[in-house]
Amino acid sequence: MAHSPSSTPTTVPAEPRAASPASISSTESRGGGPSVAACIIGDEILNGKIQDTNTRFLAQQCFQRGLTLNKVEVVGDEFADIAESIRRLSAQYDLVLTTGGIGPTHDDITYEAIGRTFGQELVLHQPTLDRMAQVTPEKFRQQRDEGARKAQERMALFPAGAKVFYPREDLWVPVASVANVFIFPGIPELFQKMLVPWLDHELVRQAEDGGGGVGDKGEGSGAARSAPRPFIRVTVATQQPESQIATCLTDLQARMGNRVKVGSYPLWRNERAKVAVTFVGRDQTLLDRCAAEVKQAVDGFDWTET
């Protein structure tokens, strides 16, 4: 589309130096923050009994803190499947979170599966058992028979080398971690209460460690490092169909490289627009320039997502 010089915004320049994708690590390619992956564990997710809401909450919280959630996998309550997923994700990403499978019943096997993955036996973590009795004394005292007592202890059996962090004073449930794998409950209310303080704690810890040694994956540099800048999302919309705007967006993405991620999303049954276009990055000025260029090219307008 041709425009007169007076009406056309300055074209956003291409990224100064293009690096080969193979030479960019998962962390570097996302702007310097640690790479994040999640393993969602539970037959109830795979058979449709329960809708997974933890993934969306995790993605939102990572986005707000400038972290990229690179991958999410869902596996059932099977030792081999959990171990295979954890072993691969742990090797590829800096932070790996698991949700689900840490309750008192026979199908809660996450602690044992992760222990097997890293060659660690399960041991009773007495501080967690003590905390359970302190935070929920009535429920703890009710478990008088041997079966109920063992079920309670099952929730405090962690891999021998696990580190334990208690994110909230009003909860006895900890985030146990082995290497760079952090184990969370699957109950959405618990997961949400625990994730936010844990994320903030982990980012502070990384900054103090100099950004290296995420989890126990490597050695920190020892130099202080600031937390990654939060991501920003700018959205515009257009009445033009995706097929008509595809070339414009493809060209812009090629010029932006890793600085901005351009997304296109059809809006079904919407009278105001046919497509929403998003620009995600850390530089507000650059995002605004991208949005202005696309609005000019596709007769677009600002759009607020609902």
Q: Is the pLDDT of residue 148 over 90?
A: no
Of the candidates 174, 209, 244, which is a domain's last residue? 209
Spatial distance between the Cα atoms of 213 and 210, rounded to a whole number of angstroms: 8
What is the domain count for the chain?
2
Claim to verify: residue 120 and residue 241 sit in the same structural domain: no
pLDDT-derived band at 194, boundaries 50, 70, 90: very high
Is residue 202 domain-shared with residue 241, that is, in the same domain? no
Determine, yes or no, domain membership for 74: yes
Residue 139 lies in a domain: yes
Average pLDDT over residues 142-156: 84
* Residue 266: inside a domain: yes
For residues 205 and 255, membership in a common domain is answered with no
Last residue of a domain, one of 176, 209, 242: 209
* Mean predicted lDDT score pLDDT of the chain: 87
For the ranges 3-12, 139-148, 234-243, the maximum mean pLDDT occurs at 234-243
- Percent of the chain at pLDDT > 90 equals 73
The pLDDT tens digits of the residues spanning 71-114 come to 999 999 999 999 999 999 999 999 999 999 999 999 999 999 99
Position 219 pLDDT exceeds 50:
no
Q: Tell me the CATH number at 272.
A: 3.30.310
Residue-range definition of the domain harbouring residue 284 = 232-302
Tokens of 101: 């499978």
In angstroms, rounded to a whole number, what is the distance separating the alpha carbons of residues 72 and 274? 29
- Distance (Å, whole) CA 215 – CA 236: 38
Q: Do 248 and 142 fall into the same domain?
A: no
Q: Are residues 205 and 238 in the same domain?
A: no
The closest alpha carbon to 290, from 247, 258, 264, 261, belongs to 261
63 lies in the same domain as 127: yes
Burial (0-12, 13-18, 19+ Cβ within 10 Å), 69: buried
Q: Is the dihedral of CA 254, 255, 260, 262 positive or negative?
A: negative
| Boundary-marking domain end, from 159, 174, 209 | 209
Q: Is residue 221 part of a domain?
A: no
Residues 185 and 239 in one domain: no
Kindly report the CATH number assigned to the domain that includes residue 56: 3.40.980.10
Q: Give CA–CA dist 65/44, Å, rounded.
A: 30
The answer to whether residue 223 is domain-embedded is no
Based on the fold, state whether residues 187 and 243 are members of the same structural domain.
Answer: no
Contacts of 36 (CB under 8 A, 6+ apart): 58, 62, 67, 68, 69, 70, 93, 94, 95, 96, 97
Q: What is the pLDDT of residue 210?
A: 61
Query: Within a domain: residue 216?
Result: no
In this structure, the answer to whether residues 50 and 117 fall within a common structural domain is: yes
Phi-psi domain of 179 (left: phi exceeds 0; alpha: psi -120 through 50; beta: other): left
Side chain identity, residue 218: G
- Whether residue 167 lies inside any domain: the answer is yes
Same domain? For 123 and 241 the reply is no
Instruction: Kindly state whether residues 122 and 261 are assigned to the same domain.
Output: no
Record the pTM. 0.83
Query: Is 97 part of a structural domain of the chain?
Result: yes
Among 21-25, 108-112, 116-120, 133-137, the minimum mean pLDDT is found in 21-25
Between the alpha carbon of residue 15 and those of residues 12, 54, 67, 283, the distances in Å are: 9, 35, 21, 13
Q: pLDDT confidence of 208, banded at 50, 70, 90?
A: confident
Q: Are residues 260 and 141 in the same domain?
A: no
Q: Is the pLDDT of residue 21 over 80?
A: no
